Amino acid sequence: MATPTQEWTTEQLLSDAVSKKDIVTFLHLSASHDFLVEFKLTGKLPTVVKNAKKDSLSEAYNSLFTRKAFRAADEPSEEEILAAKSAGPIVEKAEAVVESGPAKFTKVVLKKGDKIGYPKKGSKVAVFYTGYFADGTMFDTNDNTKKKSNPLRFRVGTGNVIPGWDEAMLSMSRGEKAKIVIPAEHAYGKKGVPDAKVPIPPNTELTFEVELVSLD
């Protein structure tokens, strides 16, 4: 995609000349997914417009150009990601399934990897992740600016993480970022994690945004 041009001044952004809908629409089309997550601008357009404040949108707009955090040519826009989740045509279901049971995960690719480096059982991987409940509430993350130098590291297929993660890692290539939905039976099951900082109830489906940054 062509590099967007900065057509609005801060004065225009804060005036009635530019609506909140105009700004959010521009950001959804032009900004990277990580940038939208950082400024809490992901989700359906009407909902974001309703909840966002004009001054925060102005700050995000100007920051986009200062940091050049534009969406890559092969990265789907926020609307395309939402459409994919609704329609489901690019959702990749796991090949590995439990006998007579559901797939251990479903996946929507947010950023393509190198299509070369795929983990195998026993591979040591490093990932950034953010976990959400079905209602969109975040319960855990290591993907923020303070911890960017400290990804989660583990060996795939050795039981260090929940079963859905072990299987999902095998489908990802180095550099890939994906939204992964894991049913309760392949997450924390009937027990949940009651003593976590944000407790995970029993029988809870979990959604993760995971980026595979390296593997050995």
Type of residue found at 115: K
> What span, in angstroms and rounded, lies between the C-alpha atoms of 35 and 139?
20
Q: Is-catalytic flag, 70? A: no
Q: Is-catalytic flag, 135? A: no
Q: Report CA Rg, the chain.
A: 19
Shortest CA distance to 85 belongs to which of 207, 214, 190? 207
Q: Is-catalytic flag, 195? A: no
Backbone angles phi, psi at 53, to 5 degrees: -100, 145
Q: Is-catalytic flag, 140? A: yes
Q: Is-catalytic flag, 39? A: no
The catalytic residue among 162, 180, 182, 200 is: 162
The catalytic residue among 26, 61, 105, 208 is: 208
- CB count within 10 Å of CB 1 equals 12
The catalytic residue among 23, 143, 188, 200 is: 188
The catalytic residue among 70, 133, 139, 154 is: 139
Whether residue 15 contacts residue 49, with contact meaning beta carbons closer than 8 Å, is answered with no
> What span, in angstroms and rounded, lies between the C-alpha atoms of 31 and 183?
30
Type of residue found at 174: R
> What span, in angstroms and rounded, lies between the C-alpha atoms of 32 and 42?
10
The catalytic residue among 90, 118, 140, 154 is: 140
Q: Is-catalytic flag, 118? A: no
Between the alpha carbon of residue 192 and those of residues 15, 136, 203, the distances in Å are 48, 18, 7
The catalytic residue among 61, 128, 129, 200 is: 129
Tokens representing 210? 């995971």
What are the residue numbers of the active site? 129, 139-140, 162, 188, 208
